[in-house]
Structure 1
């Protein structure tokens, strides 16, 4: 005779077993492409199309090839510079604009905020032509600035930081003003520390987005030495050269390494940031 307590434990155990089984399957599905990518990077050109997950004759020759026969290190540096500069700009300006809209009352505030939000409804592909016309008119094509300027501020970042700035009590800011702090000190010493988790999440998302950016850098850049990593790797799959999958996978493996380092170091902030942005 099974008691009600034993039945509850049995159902709970079965439910947990099913949950962990589904999560394990999902984890394998998500991780397998990365394992295959790394495996292919260790294969010779002749072994690329074999279905062996573990290479029969593993080699590091592919890594040597991309370093010596392409400007891979320059592309890597370009991606680092662009991702870091864009992240710094977005975190500063978006946080500042979000703070101003959330905590100051002025004519047209709502209109400005709605105008910023409206940019989220426009697909990036529709902005490519205006961006390119602006770049051509101002002489920004084939320059770092040409790659940077579309992403120096984002509507999503302003919206996110504005929502979090609204949670800061006005009494706290007024008390700082009474104590003699100016608005710059209040912003940096009072407001920013209160939204640090959201700011960290915004910085991480911005860095990842710009690190993986492909379409705009491909259009605005002509010089090989100014290519970013995603654009540079596309060279190995261009029509001029037969697709070299062993080199593509090798470059992609190296490209993923900084993202994995960022994730493992800041995974607590990433998870917390995703949770907080979902709540807001």
Structure 2
């Protein structure tokens, strides 16, 4: 009997010294692909499909079961719950998840005029409510303003802190995309505050809010190096907008070296949604989406 317990004790000790299967296996990051609605903006604006068709098209045409809405593609800028319920019903029908609403034209969150800044924050509230109703994880906002870097940063930190507090109540993230700004003459300028990775990452660091993050877009860094910009924002990134414009004969993106970009992403601990966003006109929107999805799948390494 004594020998039996000695052997049993030895077995237990040796078993305790062995690494578990979990410890032997490296954690693998799951590739989560979503479809940015802007990829189909021409079809929607041209009447070939509607915002309500978006979940069906994502699932049936592209095999993508997560979608990112764009506020300006909602008819009449509506956030009516009856309409939103139709979107939920469409998602349920096709097994699609609503991940995000990209909010545009609601004012500059980095506006250095306090009255305008506060109004911009207030303008976003109904879209936070809409995103929560749809079961989204986040809303995308624009973090720009006119003025010195210091002044815009201070205004943006205020706005993002206020929106982050509201997002927390709704179980949402508020994420900033490097994006352009509407100029006083009505033109669009991509060379804005948020398109500088250093400026935007510093503002996010200063905000330091658990419900505030970033959505780096491959194509919107303007004069700032896009690879460095993604590096700057990855520590704060809740999602990635994998934008394409044109493709070469091998199906590679012309404007962005996808291997180089995904080497940077793969080396990080990012594990959020990777959004397909085609914005070119050399091929159809459908073909551009398929080519972009193929590139993501090619270069993502778990």
TM-score w.r.t. structure 1 length? 0.27
Q: Which of these two proteins has the greater Rg computed from alpha carbons?
A: 1
Larger helix percent: 1
By relative contact order (CA 8 Å, sep 6+), the higher-ranking structure is 1
TM-score (norm 2): 0.26
Which structure shows the higher strand fraction?
2
